[in-house]
Amino acid sequence: MHEQSLVRSLLKQVESLRCEYDGGCVSEVRVEIGPLSGVESLLLLGAFELLSNGTTADGATLVVDEVPLMAKCKSCSHAFEINNFVFSCPLCGGNVKVTSGEEFLLTSVSFSGDPVQNELSTAVEKHETASAQRSER
Amino acid sequence: MTTTKTITVRRDVAAESKADAGIERLRLGRRGTLVVNLLSSPGAGKTALLEATAKCFGGERSMAVLVGDLETDRDAQRLSPLVPTAQLTTGGACHLELPLVRRGLDALGDPQVDFLFIENVGNLVCPASHDLAEHLRIVLVSTTEGDDKPGKYPKMFRTSDTMMVTKLDLLPHVPFSVEAVIEDARRIQPDLDVLQACAIDGTGIRTWCDYLVSERTKRLAEFE
Residues of A in contact with B188 (CB under 8 A): 85-87
The total of other beta-carbon atoms located within 10 Å of residue B200's CB is: 14
Question: Is the pTM value of this prediction over 0.90?
Answer: no
pLDDT at residue number B65 = 97
Q: Which residues does chain B have with pLDDT short of 70?
A: 1-2
Q: Nearest Cα to A108, choosing from B16, B11, B14? A: B11
| Contact map slice: B 163-222 vs A, CB within 8 A | 187-191
pLDDT at residue number B224 = 85
Q: Number of Cβ pairs closer than 8 Å across A and B?
A: 99
Measured in angstroms, the CA of B66 and the nearest CA of chain A are apart by 17
Residues of B in contact with A16 (CB under 8 A): none
Query: What does the pLDDT look like over A60-76, one tens digit per residue?
Result: 999 999 999 999 999 99
pLDDT at residue number A118 = 47
Phi, psi at A98, each rounded to 5° = -75, 130
Which of B4, B17, B151 is opposite residue A111, by nearest beta carbon? B4
pLDDT > 60? residue A43? yes
B3 with A87: Cβ contact below 8 A: no
| Contact map slice: B 36-75 vs A, CB within 8 A | none
Question: pLDDT band at A121, cuts 50/70/90?
Answer: very low
Residues of A in contact with B88 (CB under 8 A): none
pLDDT at residue number B96 = 93
Q: Is the ipTM reported for this complex over the cut 0.85?
A: no
Query: What does the pLDDT look like over B27-48, one tens digit per residue?
Result: 999 999 999 999 999 999 999 9
pLDDT at residue number A113 = 76
A17 with B9: Cβ contact below 8 A: yes
pLDDT at residue number B165 = 98
Quick one: closest CA in B to A7, which residue?
B13
Q: Residue range A110-119: average pLDDT? A: 68
pLDDT at residue number A120 = 41
Question: pLDDT band at A137, cuts 50/70/90?
Answer: very low
B190 with A38: Cβ contact below 8 A: no
pLDDT at residue number A131 = 54
pLDDT at residue number A32 = 97
- Chain B contact for A53, CB < 8 A? no
pLDDT at residue number B104 = 97
